[in-house]
Amino acid sequence: MDRRDFLRTGGALVAGVSGALSLPALSSCTSQEAQSATVLSGKKWGMVVDLTRCREGCTACMDACRTENNVAYHGDKRWDIHWIRRATLEPKEESAGLEEKSLLLMCNQCDDPPCAQVCPVQATYKREDGIVMVDHHRCIGCRYCMIACPYNARFFNFKENPEWPNPEYPRRSHGVAESCHFCAHLLDGGGRPACVEACEATGARALIFGNLQDPASEVAQLVAGGSAKRLREDWGTKPKVYYLGL
């Protein structure tokens, strides 16, 4: 029994009665649509960020993400939302003398996501294909996920998003939390994340995306190559975003 199972069992005892309420009701009215759940099975989406190819000053992936997912930008660092962002890292005393690094940060799509562990309404959860998603219809805006995320990759809608660049994708009301979900709406339709497309369009090909469970895929091979690193593996969150040249 590992830690999560232990917590589950313990919590289930506490929450037993109310848990019974969450059993899915109303299974009758969509039986027609109920295709097999194979859309998600047999996949673990993952991304490799090749920092050696990433160009300083390029914002293609960030712009594409903002446009595709209607990510709010208010021009104020306190409330801006970034599903993917660039950070500059400077060496501390112990690594003094090394050159500063430029890094792309996004939701690490952990395999053991602390945000999903703490969400009181299961609004944040891990899909079968490993994507950590937020059900914004459920989110009560407690911001516990932001507290729990050690990567600071989750954001809260402090303000209503003033713009709506992509009407085909919903925006978020103020008062709910959000983070990158690998453009799950595009993946399910057979596409790829907007940032990956944009990066490829610039010719840099710094973002490589694919199915980690498919040994033939480029990401799986890069990861198997051994030089891909993840951020703070010691936290045990098992991220699915890998970095080359970190």
Partner 1 sequence: MKRSTVLTKKNRAKWATAFGVVILLPVILSLVGFVVSRKPEVPVVFLEAPDPRWENCVRDASFMRFRHMELLKEVREEVIREGLKGGVTLAGCGDCHRNRDQFCDRCHEAASVSLDCFGCHYYLTAAEKAGLGR
Partner 2 sequence: MAMDVEFAKIEGRSVPYLTSVGVLAALAVGGFAATLIMHEHGLYLSGMTNRVPWGLQIAMAIFYIGLSAGSLVVSGLYGVFGRMEYKPFARIAAYLAMLFLIAGLLSILTDQGRVDRVFTKPFTYVNATSMFSINPALYSGHIMICVLYLWALFKEKGTLTKITSLVVVIWAIGTHTGTGAIFAFVPRELYNSALLPPSFVAAALSSGAALMILVLVTLFKATGRHLDDHLIIWMGRRLLSIFLVVTFYVLLIENAHRAYLAASHEAGMFFLFGGIHSFMFWIGLICVGCVIPAILLFIKRTGTSVRWTVFASTLVVVGVLFERFLIVVPGLVHPPELLPGWEVTDAALWEGVVGYSISYLEVLQTLGVIGVIGFMFMVGLRIMPLAPKEARAAAGA
46: nearest Cα among 219, 183, 246, 235: 219
For partner 1, which is the closer residue by CB, 77 or 137? 137
Q: How many CB atoms lie within 10 A of CB 175?
A: 15
**Which chain residues interact with partner 2 by CB under 8 A?**
4, 7-8, 10-12, 14-15, 18-19, 21-22, 62, 77-82, 85-92, 94-95, 100-101, 103, 105, 114, 117-123, 138-144, 146-148, 150-152, 155-160, 173-177, 231-232, 235, 237, 246
> How is residue 176 written in tokens?
């709910």
Q: What is d(CA 209, CA 222) in angstroms, rounded to the nearest whole number?
A: 11
146 binds, among partner 1, partner 2, none (CB under 5 to 8 A by kind): partner 2
Q: Tell me how far, at minimum, the Cβ of 109 lies from partner 1, in Å.
A: 15
**Which chain residues interact with partner 1 by CB under 8 A?**
24, 26-27, 29-30, 33, 35, 37, 39-40, 125, 127-129, 133, 135-137, 164, 167-168, 170-173, 184-185, 188-189
Q: How many CB atoms lie within 10 A of CB 150?
A: 14
Q: Which residues contact 232 (CB under 8 A, 6 or more apart)?
A: 150, 151
For partner 2, which is the closer residue by CB, 150 or 205? 150
For partner 2, which is the closer residue by CB, 104 or 206? 104
128 binds, among partner 1, partner 2, none (CB under 5 to 8 A by kind): partner 1
Q: What is d(CA 65, CA 17) in angstroms, rounded to the nearest whole number?
A: 41
Q: Tell me how far, at minimum, the Cβ of 172 lies from partner 1, in Å.
A: 6
Q: What is d(CA 146, CA 149) in angstroms, rounded to the nearest whole number?
A: 5
Q: Tell me how far, at minimum, the Cβ of 125 lies from partner 1, in Å.
A: 7
Residue 117 near residue 4, CB atoms below 8 Å: yes
Q: Which helix (H) or strand (E) holds 68?
A: helix 60-69
> How is residue 162 written in tokens?
């003033």
For partner 2, which is the closer residue by CB, 125 or 169? 125
Q: What is d(CA 29, CA 26) in angstroms, rounded to the nearest whole number?
A: 7
Q: Tell me how far, at minimum, the Cβ of 54 lies from partner 2, in Å.
A: 14
Q: Tell me how far, at minimum, the Cβ of 169 lies from partner 1, in Å.
A: 8
Q: What is d(CA 178, CA 106) in angstroms, rounded to the nearest whole number?
A: 12
For partner 2, which is the closer residue by CB, 91 or 165? 91
For partner 2, which is the closer residue by CB, 42 or 233? 233
